[in-house]
Amino acid sequence: MPSRFRSFAALALALALAPIANAQVTVVKAGKLVDTDKGVVLSHQIILIRDGKIEDVGPSVSIPAGANVVDLSNMTVVPGLIDSHTHEADGVLPEDNGDPRAVLFHTSSEALAYTVENAYVTLMAGFTTVRDLGTYRALNDVALRNSINRGDIPGPRMYVAGAYITITGGAGAMTGVSPDVQLPWDMHFGEANSPDEVRQKVRLLVAQGVNVIKVLSSGAVLTHGSNTKSQEFTPAELTAAVEEAHSFGLKVAAHAHSAEGIKNAVRAGVASIEHGTYMDDEGIRLMKEHGTFYSATLDVHDCITSKPNTPADFLEHNKGIADIHYNAFKKAVAAGLKIAFSTDVPVCPYKDAGKEFAYMVKYGMTPMQAIQAATIGGAELIGVLDKVGSIKKGKFADMIAVQGDPTQNVRLLEDVKFVMKDGKVFKSSDAAIPVTN
């Protein structure tokens, strides 16, 4: 059976499995539980779930008669993970080698069909919430989010950007095609070249129901004809984006590799810097002063170099910058910047999103800090700390489980055994996990 059909067979199985813990009352017995708010690991906790939300948690919570009981007594329970930089609606297409031009071989609706599996794989990897930062086929992410919210397909809770807001020929543009090719509207939906045009694009995206605004403040590694050390949007254009987004209650994420691109975006008031490769000491100081989150995406460099048939210019853009990026992350951790776990999938495969944890720990974080970046950190950045990020009364019943203690060996989060979102079990791959009522 072809691999894609095997994946969809698994998807069908997940849909069948989802109702297992979907009774009105569910109880999870956790052998260990990572308390991300306090940064400690608790033992022998009972989590009471009613109508998809956590009603109570503690060592002596009473188990109501008739409740579904999920026994994770031999496992460690962690809040559902949050990836603060994904592209669920931008891959993976059959001929994908990391080149954005792959979308030119497909209609928007066909490309959207491929995203169904992306969302499923992300959820199975333990990520119950994502901040999805743009797609070359504008608004496909909105459609994917809405399908998940309706319960049509399984996937993470998505907070989406709708499109990239970028300068003409910029890091978020569809570049590398002949200049006489007329691109469809959705491939240049977010193109803007003045403060007023930036404001217009924000307004258009808000009208389509996006949750976050994504701007491109510097060049990019994975864009043809780009320069990672460049500045793209001007300070005035970045300020316009932030002001307009704030007027609608939205935050702004800024792609920025170059030192000046980072500082321009921070001064403009963005909520997060994405990548931040050439971040300097002044940039770190500004981010600390402004409370700006760092969304680093460390794993991408190895994936770019190891992916077959990666375009030669992308390899050239990536050459020599990994160590610069890792050093910037080390300095950010030491300075106490706010950090949100971020991967930039599908630069690396969706199924391997958990590998980012090992990079974060290798370059300065403790395992607990990395887990907090993927739970309460992401929740704070997105603005949903009252809903997700920790296993606490009143929050959504999002949780995962692994064998062993990930605060001692963070790589355990690369092999998630159990996934629950909104009180529903979507993954229970270990036969040792009984569900009874």
Q: Residues 150, 62: one domain?
A: no
Question: What are the tens digits of pLDDT across the range 306-339?
Answer: 988 899 999 999 999 999 999 999 999 999 999 9
Q: Residues 192, 210: one domain?
A: yes
Give how far Cα 360 sits from Cα of 123, 217, 296, 355, Å.
Answer: 21, 24, 9, 9
Q: Residues 373, 252: one domain?
A: yes
- 370 has pLDDT over 60: yes
Contact 216, 164 (CB under 8 A): yes
**Alpha-carbon span 420 to 18, nearest angstrom:** 9
Q: Which of 310, 317, 350 is nearest to 132 (CA)?
A: 350
Question: What are the tens digits of pLDDT across the range 393-412?
Answer: 999 999 999 999 999 999 99
Contact 33, 42 (CB under 8 A): yes
| Mean local confidence (pLDDT), 386-391 | 98
Q: Residues 139, 188: one domain?
A: yes
Question: What are the tens digits of pLDDT across the range 182-204?
Answer: 999 999 999 999 999 999 999 99
> Position of tokens 């704070």?
380
Q: pTM for the whole thing? A: 0.93
Domain count, the chain: 2
Q: What is the pLDDT of residue 22?
A: 44
Mean pLDDT of the chain: 93
Domain termination residue (choose one: 352, 382, 412): 382
SS3 424: strand
| Mean local confidence (pLDDT), 347-351 | 94
Q: Residues 373, 417: one domain?
A: no
pLDDT category of residue 93 using cuts at 50, 70 and 90: confident
Domain termination residue (choose one: 365, 382, 399): 382
Q: Which of 173, 114, 172, 174 is nearest to 144 (CA)?
A: 114
Q: What is the pLDDT of residue 105?
A: 87
Question: What are the tens digits of pLDDT across the range 223-235?
Answer: 999 999 999 999 9
Percentage above 70 pLDDT, the chain: 92
- The number of C-alpha atoms within 13 Å of 281 and in the hemisphere containing its C-beta is 0
**Alpha-carbon span 56 to 401, nearest angstrom:** 18
Q: Residues 151, 107: one domain?
A: yes
CATH code of the domain covering residue 42: 2.30.40.10
Q: Residues 352, 401: one domain?
A: no
Amino acid identity at 89: A
Q: What is the pLDDT of residue 223?
A: 94
Give how far Cα 183 sits from Cα of 105, 223, 224, 398, Å.
Answer: 12, 16, 16, 40
CATH code of the domain covering residue 269: 3.20.20.140
Q: Which domain holds residue 9?
A: 3-79+390-436
- 130 has pLDDT over 80: yes
**Alpha-carbon span 275 to 296, nearest angstrom:** 4
Q: Residues 18, 108: one domain?
A: no
User: What string of DSSP letters covers 80-135?
Assistant: PEEEEEE-TTS---TT-SS-GGGGGGS-HHHHHHHHHHHHHHHHHTTEEEEEE---
Q: Residues 260, 114: one domain?
A: yes
Amino acid identity at 429: S
Q: What is the pLDDT of residue 19?
A: 45
Question: What are the tens digits of pLDDT across the range 43-71?
Answer: 999 999 999 999 999 999 999 999 999 99
Q: Residues 31, 136: one domain?
A: no
Q: Residues 427, 282: one domain?
A: no
Q: Residues 64, 43: one domain?
A: yes
